[in-house]
Structure 1
């Protein structure tokens, strides 16, 4: 009974957040999942359905990470079959990529159908001498077929791939194909996703297991399309997705694909504070600190794990939003939470006051209401809004009467230093 591990979107060399530790998380996740679910159970082969790397151009240490992991599989006698994804595919017009390099060094088998001189898709069997080929028949009884990253031309490419597969000689009992593209309806705001009907030609020509990549969320459709999701979350938003690696058994009764998630992953916590517009800057700062402390007490954040934490502050504030020192607060919260990365998202609006003004109101009344609303929107001055509004009207009248700047300055000083009325 053939057994294999299906991975995708490993993204070695991930460099968002400018953190070396975070970049290493992707290597640790890859190595741990291979040791737990490929080497330990001695699977027959491993699939990498695109995006082994984060970038087409990689640093030497990132290449070394890939080599270390792939060598362990080679020493265990487990072949690795791979295709390029949109992150690590070769640039247009070039003949090589880092996946091709790894294939040339016999650390993986890069399966690529041949697009002949006429543009017709041709599947040639894997040639260990030239290290070229679009498919391979494995001793465990599985034919594995490769593909490219096709982008917007994927629907047309699928039809051509299906025609080429149909012309192949009879092979092993099971057919598995790797394809790096997303299916519609799985995540929001994803443009260019394929419809299920777009993929049906591959099922019609005998593909038993379609190993997808590209979307970083796990999903399975109709018992033959499988996408494990990324090994690690590439963003805070992705932390809510279920994702992992598929350990697959091709049994006589059908496909048994189990999503494995218990491997090394950095803990991620998302918190939120919603303001009502009554808080001062000091009170809001204290509320943010309390929210993080409560998350620690509840176990949502474990400072010993050096998690990634996001705190979103949303709503309205009754003070100038710039009065809150975000950078200082972010550093304080990072220290309290023990976070490797602390992201503080400050998305607030100043409270908008709009007092109703009667149509027959005099100019003086209009000025009074406008000044009062502006002052009431500031947490520092809102308790004296009416009194200060009257002072501003007086200040305006004095300026129109031509009083000196020294006099006007003194009026302002007296107004601000006066004790609140009542």
Structure 2
């Protein structure tokens, strides 16, 4: 069987504010990326498409989002391609509220099948989807219980069968993110599975280094323009030959131009001249490319960020985002070092608390940044999940 593994499609997503040409184009970008993935699946004669969570950006859908999604999924149905889906944290299905989910609606319409699990009589029960004698197990997004659920699943499955697992999680790195796992948990599946289809994190990854069986394809599009991972796309996997092909979506998604430079100017007039020269040779496709500029200043003086962004948009950028970082002011009296970088200010304040948060000051600052973004995006469920898991980690440290 030939499968395609994709994840984190985030259909219906709009930038904060959701107004203007930029918001409109970004809204369409996610559908374009999904449509392209399905076109590739048909072209490559894939038998089954796996979607490892976050097909939608929010649980509550506008009618247009649902209609566009159905129109794309119809292409799989018309080409006799199976589709197996699990929910992610953005489209998370709560126990006893499944009837309220659009994932269930699409499942009932026959667009895909959904492997499930539930907790009964003090134990987990897993119900796979079976296609051509291959067992597809799915655990959705278990959040804080991901380690526990996967350990139970590793004992539950029969290693004599051909097993493929879908789980909306990635391997935890140094930065904190709710719902991620430690690679050691995945070691329990060695020799028991052909493939584990992960999600949640938006850049390609695989585990272990030698003979990997856990994979993340990355999101199809940028969920956040600050994402650094460039390797995003789809994985084609042949269950008979065990061969894999990664298909990058770099050429299919909206171009993002990142520019970083140190400002040599000493005042605003010099700066404006320097800025115009810095962006002079940048090739920007009119009303298509997103440009992100990060500037590091050696001296303090006021700059108008709006002026910088307007200069880039006049040059043709669909959207310009300009960020600046200033040097520290030397210690004055008892105030201490002051930085214009808000993360550094927060870290200095947290260190002075002299408690468990101060012992984890760097991680605390990163979590605060994530919580701010989630609040702006009105992602209440993920906000609470992230905050709860961080508190639990602090208590246990």
TM-score band (shorter)?
0.7 to 0.9
Aligned match of 1:10: 9
Correspondence for 1:216 among 178, 181, 202: 202
Structure 2 match to 1:89: 92
Q: Is the 8 A contact 2:146 2:179 kept in 1?
A: no
**TM-score of the two chains, using structure 1 as the length reference:** 0.71
**SS where residue 109 of structure 1 aligns?**
coil
Tell me, what secondary structure is at the counterpart of 1:87? coil
Aligned residue for 2:82? 79
Is contact 1:50-1:84 (8 Å) kept?
A: yes
Q: Matched residue of 1:70: which SS?
A: helix
> 1:193-232 to 2 correspondence within 5 Å?
193-203=180-190, 206-222=192-208, 223-232=212-221
- Equivalent in the alignment of 1:265: 253
Q: Is the 8 A contact 2:198 2:216 kept in 1?
A: yes
Number of aligned residue pairs: give it: 322
Distance across 2 between alignment mates of 1:293 and 1:57: 43
Distance 1:353 1:292 in 2: 35
Report the Cα offset of residue 243 of structure 1. 1.4
**RMSD (Å), alpha carbons:** 2.3
Change (3 A) 1:215 1:335: same
Which residue in 1 is equivalent to 2:356?
A: none
CA contact (8 A) 1:82 1:108 kept: yes
How big is the shift at 1:332?
Answer: 2.1
The match for 2:144 is 152
CA contact (8 A) 2:194 2:239 kept: no
- Residue 318 to residue 85, structure 1, CA distance change in 2 (3 Å): closer
Q: Aligned in 2, Cα 1:240/1:211: closer, same or farther, shift over 3 Å?
A: closer
Query: Based on CA coordinates, which of the two structures has the bigger radius of gyration?
Result: 1
* Structure 2 gap segments, 5+ residues each: 333-397
Alpha carbons 2:7, 2:199 under 8 Å: kept: yes
Report Cα offsets for 1:231-270 as digits up to 9, x if no partner: 1111223244311100111234xx2121101552000011
Q: Following the alignment from structure 2 to structure 1, what is the Cα–Cα distance between the partners of residues 122 and 52?
A: 23
SS of the aligned residue for 1:57 comes to coil
CA–CA distance in structure 2, aligned partners of residues 318 and 121 of structure 1: 59
Aligned counterpart in structure 2 of residue 325 of structure 1, from 299, 304, 308:
304
Following superposition, the deviation at residue 95 of structure 1 comes to 2.4
Report the counterpart of residue 303 of structure 1 in structure 2: 285
Q: Give a deviation string over 1:265-320, Cα, whole Å, max 9, x none.
A: 000011123124x4221221222222222222xxxxx324711110112223343x
Q: Distance in 1 between matches of 2:140 and 2:237?
A: 23
Shift of 1:184: 2.6
Listed as ranges, the matches of 1:120-269 within 5 Å are 120-123=123-126, 134-139=127-132, 141-166=133-158, 171=161, 174-185=162-173, 188-190=175-177, 193-203=180-190, 206-222=192-208, 223-252=212-241, 255-262=242-249, 264-269=252-257
Separation in 2 of the partners of 1:344 and 1:266? 18
SS in 2 for 1:13: coil
